Structure 1
Amino acid sequence: MSTPINVFSEIGKLETVMLHRPGNELSNLLPDELQNLLFDDIPFLEQAQKEHDYFAEVLQAKGIEVLYLEDLAAESLRNKDIREKFIKQYLDEANIFNQTLKTKLQEKLTAIKDNRELVDKTMAGVQKVELPKYKAVSLTEMMDNSSPFVIDPLPNLYFTRDNFATVGHGISLNRMYSSTRQRETIYGQYIFDHHPRFSGKNIPRVYDRNNVSQIEGGDELILSEKVIAIGISQRTEAISIERLAKNVFDRKLGFNCVLAFNIGQKRKFMHLDTVFTMVDYDKFTIHPEIEEMLEVYSITPKNTGELKIAKERGRLEHILAKYLHRDSVQFIRCGDGNQTAAAREQWNDGSNTLAIAPGEVIVYDRNMITNKALERAGVKLNYIPSSELVRGRGGPRCMSMPLSRKSLTQ
């Protein structure tokens, strides 16, 4: 492998992917904290793990290398200095205002000798009962006294698509929509800065977690070696897309166009990939509700180094066909176009497919109507169970971060 990051399409044969197996962060979800932690329900952890293991087994059976975020993060803490820096940064970003409490937490985390155990603990969060002598002293702590946690869990981590995204040979280390998820990107920072597989490999960074405007990986789709699509959504701001586009063009990663899809600010849509994914050279899943109202803007580089931004005219399928140099493209509608079925199956991520090769995808088994429409369109389906994983509002694409895909020109 000449470079550890190689993603120039959504559909090229998947070679290496990063997952996160759900852990105790899901056991630490509480009903009163669901909204703050961006969940609508509490998954049953053991069943969620079984479903996730099945997902990994399907990938591995196809010859795909599966890496785990938690392992990569642990392997990145290669020496005492990196480890101490990681713990300090984690606590700084956990908004611990009581210095005495921060010191106790630092001592607790430092005392964990195994790096993997340390990473798991930072993901799971810390309950007050784990600090027997804990006492609220600041006004902030007293106002938050109803919570049993001194550090909240990170339950969204099994959606590895969001906190960073691969773009060509580079990465977008993202600024998350919610402070709840911003700590997730610390793991990506340490992996790309310190893991032997990635550090020192001159991986371009086209977005940085310290930027003030937000962008998330579920909105970032690599349509071809030349074209990127990014959703303007509840989780991604327009200014972030401009910044990323400028960086991509300046770093000469091969892309010459970014298509910005304005999908609106509704939670049920959340990211572009919850309503739109690419499954073959000329086939896309789409949620019918966004099809007519969608606005598309093209962003291309000028010779001066500035950006040219234009609102695209015409139907979405004609815009895609133009930029992908196809005579036409086919939309496979969530719920097979039925309004009731589309609404229900989109909520259960019927449009969120993971392509593992051109015309071959992984889908949730529960979306039967959409899945039949995909099969009729000639798409090969690999089914995974989803009764618990789906409760986090994300599908197979959300749960996977491709690190390498085979080039479509090979």
Structure 2
Amino acid sequence: MTERPIRVFSEIGKLKKVVLHRPGKELENLVPDFLPRLLFDDIPFLEDAQKEHDAFADALRENGVEVLYLERLVADAIDAADVKEQFVDEWLAETGVQSDAMLKALKDHLLAIPDTFDMVLKTMEGFRKTEMPDVSGTSLSDKYETDYPFIVDPMPNLYFTRDPFATMAHGVTLNHMYSETRNRETLYGKYIFDHHPEYGNGAVDRFYNREEATRIEGGDELVLSKDVLAVGISQRTDARSIEKLANRLFKETGFKRILAFLIGENRKFMHLDTVFTMVDYDKFTIHPEIEGGLKVWDLTPNEDGTVNIVEREDQLDVILQDALGVEKVHLIRCGGGDPVAAAREQWNDGSNTLTIAPGVVVVYDRNTVTNKVLEEYGLKLIKLRGSELVRGRGGPRCMSMPLYREDI
């Protein structure tokens, strides 16, 4: 049997292949007045953000991980299927541009870029009003002017490759995102999984589609084991999406259980993986604030194909011990449990770690209190400089999408 191109049955199995996106000119299209619209709190310095991201990629390679870039996968998919114009038409349809004259000008501009890779980067960067010619159409939308500086918004969140699609078992959820700002990002995943020579044309199972009406994001999807998935009910993921996903996974994969964690609609707890990640067979990083009054629902399949849903009222460690079949689970609290250190370091993604092998974890170096506690638990840390990348409110797990992990 041919090896499947995606294999993800845990959060901690040795990472062999991962998708990243190197931050590009989209970050230079962040402006203070419109940061909330683009889901940013600050403006990273692109040159240093790229240096930090390159160091992240190099650290992964040095530990035996093959690094693939989202932008290259998309370009290769478009070229392989000869669908450049189709891609541009779909991209334009999601820009929100109303003027027919401007749509034509944008299409002509993109199709005139000879290299597909460069064209893909331009679609990610967005278009400023100052870089496009004045189109003198006759409709009201052609003539309407606002102070907004962009014709097409940039996509600055793209370096968080964890969210637009998520891998599990031999497949993906191609997600419907919380905001239109990010929902446009999922078009890139669509082209990869429809057309890429290795990942497209039915090679990868599809458990969710971007056309779904309810939202789900990859930061809320954690593969705890070959049997158990954890999904956050959050600002970004709807409970209805989890039930849809459960129906499909129970019918099409070997997953036997989904734990749905209610973490609330709060930007500081944006996704489950910002407050909770798995770092070893029996160890998790956790932000202590979510432990009080945490609600967890246990989803399992019924014999008739329906989903059984039971609220769990036990302590988090007990729920995890039961789900993973281990004697004891260690919850390693962000900031060592100190409320000030925990709040500061969680804001800088102290709980958002990327495990590349059992007990081997990529972290930001700035979270010194949390990192010291992790080391006291015997974990090996790969420390990244986190000055500019962290301004987007995401850590090493947010910035990576595993395609292949060894089984544990």
TM-score interval, normalised by the smaller of the two chains: over 0.9
Determine if contact 2:102/2:142 at 8 Å carries over to the other structure. Answer: no
Partner of 2:75: 74
Mark the CA change 1:169 to 1:80 in structure 2 (over 3 Å): closer, same or farther: closer
Q: Choose 77-86 or 118-127, whichever is displaced more.
A: 77-86
- Structure 1 stretches lacking a partner, 5+ long: none
Distance 1:199 1:179 in 2: 25
- DSSP-derived class of the 1:36 partner: helix
Mark the CA change 1:62 to 1:237 in structure 2 (over 3 Å): closer, same or farther: same
2:235 alignment partner AA: Q
Distance 1:187 1:147 in 2: 26
Deviation at 1:130, TM superposition (A): 1.6
Deviation at 1:139, TM superposition (A): 5.8
1:343-382 alignment to 2 at 5 Å? 343-382=343-382
Partner of 2:259: 259
- DSSP-derived class of the 1:370 partner: helix
Deviation at 1:128, TM superposition (A): 1.2
Distance 1:152 1:112 in 2: 19
Question: How many residues matched?
Answer: 407
Partner of 2:330: 330
Deviation at 1:113, TM superposition (A): 1.0
- DSSP-derived class of the 1:165 partner: strand
Q: Name the TM-score, length of structure 2 as normaliser.
A: 0.97
Mark the CA change 1:334 to 1:144 in structure 2 (over 3 Å): closer, same or farther: farther
Distance 2:81 2:324 in 1: 49
Distance 1:135 1:338 in 2: 61
1:282 alignment partner AA: D
- DSSP-derived class of the 2:51 partner: helix
Q: Does residue 301 of the first structure (1) align with residue 301 of the second (2)?
A: yes
2:128 alignment partner AA: Q
Partner of 1:216: 217
Distance 2:140 2:5 in 1: 47
Determine if contact 2:173/2:206 at 8 Å carries over to the other structure. Answer: yes
Q: Does residue 284 of the first structure (1) align with residue 280 of the second (2)?
A: no
Distance 2:274 2:371 in 1: 15
Deviation at 1:202, TM superposition (A): 3.3
1:221-266: CA deviations, max 9, x gaps? 0000000000000000000000111111121x11000000000110
Deviation at 1:79, TM superposition (A): 5.5
- DSSP-derived class of the 2:194 partner: helix
Distance 2:263 2:142 in 1: 38
2:166 alignment partner AA: A
Distance 1:138 1:389 in 2: 42
Distance 2:143 2:81 in 1: 35
Deviation at 1:284, TM superposition (A): 0.2
Partner of 2:149: 148
Partner of 2:34: 33
1:61-102: CA deviations, max 9, x gaps? 001000000110111112685111100000001111111111
Mark the CA change 1:396 to 1:141 in structure 2 (over 3 Å): closer, same or farther: farther
1:249 alignment partner AA: F
- DSSP-derived class of the 1:245 partner: helix
Determine if contact 2:5/2:203 at 8 Å carries over to the other structure. Answer: no
Determine if contact 2:298/2:312 at 8 Å carries over to the other structure. Answer: yes
Partner of 2:15: 14
Distance 1:95 1:370 in 2: 43
- DSSP-derived class of the 1:279 partner: strand
1:156 alignment partner AA: N
Partner of 2:112: 111
1:244 alignment partner AA: L
- Structure 2 stretches lacking a partner, 5+ long: none
Distance 2:182 2:15 in 1: 27
Determine if contact 1:43/1:388 at 8 Å carries over to the other structure. Answer: yes
CA RMSD of aligned residues (A): 1.4
Deviation at 1:204, TM superposition (A): 1.2
1:57-206 alignment to 2 at 5 Å? 57-78=58-79, 81-134=82-135, 145-206=146-207
2:153 alignment partner AA: D
Distance 2:312 2:123 in 1: 45
Partner of 1:275: 275
- DSSP-derived class of the 1:402 partner: strand
Determine if contact 2:101/2:142 at 8 Å carries over to the other structure. Answer: no
Distance 1:141 1:185 in 2: 28
Deviation at 1:293, TM superposition (A): 2.1
Deviation at 1:167, TM superposition (A): 1.1
1:88 alignment partner AA: D
Distance 1:35 1:139 in 2: 28
- Percent of aligned pairs with the same residue? 57
Partner of 2:251: 250
Distance 2:277 2:287 in 1: 10
Mark the CA change 1:389 to 1:110 in structure 2 (over 3 Å): closer, same or farther: same
Q: Choose 75-84 or 7-16, whichever is displaced more.
A: 75-84
Distance 2:133 2:108 in 1: 14
Distance 1:276 1:137 in 2: 54
1:45-75: CA deviations, max 9, x gaps? 0000000000000000001000000110111
Partner of 1:241: 242
Determine if contact 1:128/1:134 at 8 Å carries over to the other structure. Answer: no
Mark the CA change 1:234 to 1:140 in structure 2 (over 3 Å): closer, same or farther: farther
Q: Choose 71-80 or 201-210, whichever is displaced more.
A: 71-80
Distance 1:108 1:149 in 2: 16
Deviation at 1:134, TM superposition (A): 3.6
